[in-house]
């Protein structure tokens, strides 16, 4: 007699499920997949792949990465050091103003996504120029 497979948590994961921390592909020949289907038929609830907090954290990480990329695209690390070493206050001020503007926009975007629902978060693109202008 085959042992019954039980699940404490099942989440959607790509083209399959994450069941009790183990990936189970959508494969009709897989006994774990068959057990998950039976578990669902008997009222088991499949959780979303990511919680809203996990999605929000990922978007914040993407915002920070995009901010860094935007800064470095104009003021590479070498360029920043050269400007600082030149002690040219005009260039230093311009660079600082630019960097602060990006940081401020990054902080604003992080604040805005704190109030977004799941659909809004999924549709939010941190790399869009519209978010940085």
pLDDT of residue 64 exceeding 70, the answer is yes
What's the pLDDT score for residue 2? 59
- pLDDT confidence bin for 49, thresholds 50/70/90: confident
Over residues 54-80, the mean pLDDT reads: 96
pLDDT of residue 1 exceeding 80, the answer is no
What's the pLDDT score for residue 3? 66
Stretch (H or E) spanning 25: strand 22-25
Residue closest to 42 by CA, chosen among 5, 71, 93, 1: 5
What's the rounded Cα separation, in Å, for the pair 5 and 35?
6
pLDDT of residue 84 exceeding 90, the answer is yes
């Amino acid at each position: 007699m085959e042992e019954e497979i039980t699940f404490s948590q099942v989440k959607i994961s790509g083209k399959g499920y994450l069941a009790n921390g183990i990936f189970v592909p959508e494969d009709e020949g897989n006994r774990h997949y068959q057990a998950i289907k039976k578990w669902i038929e008997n009222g088991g609830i499949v959780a979303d792949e990511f919680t809203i907090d996990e999605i929000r954290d990922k978007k914040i990480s993407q915002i920070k990465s995009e901010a860094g990329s935007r800064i470095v695209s104009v003021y590479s690390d070498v360029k920043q050091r050269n400007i600082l070493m030149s002690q040219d206050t005009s260039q230093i001020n311009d660079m600082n103003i630019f960097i602060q503007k990006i940081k401020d926009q990054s902080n604003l975007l992080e604040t805005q996504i704190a109030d977004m629902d799941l659909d809004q978060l999924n549709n939010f693109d941190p790399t869009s120029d519209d978010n940085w202008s």
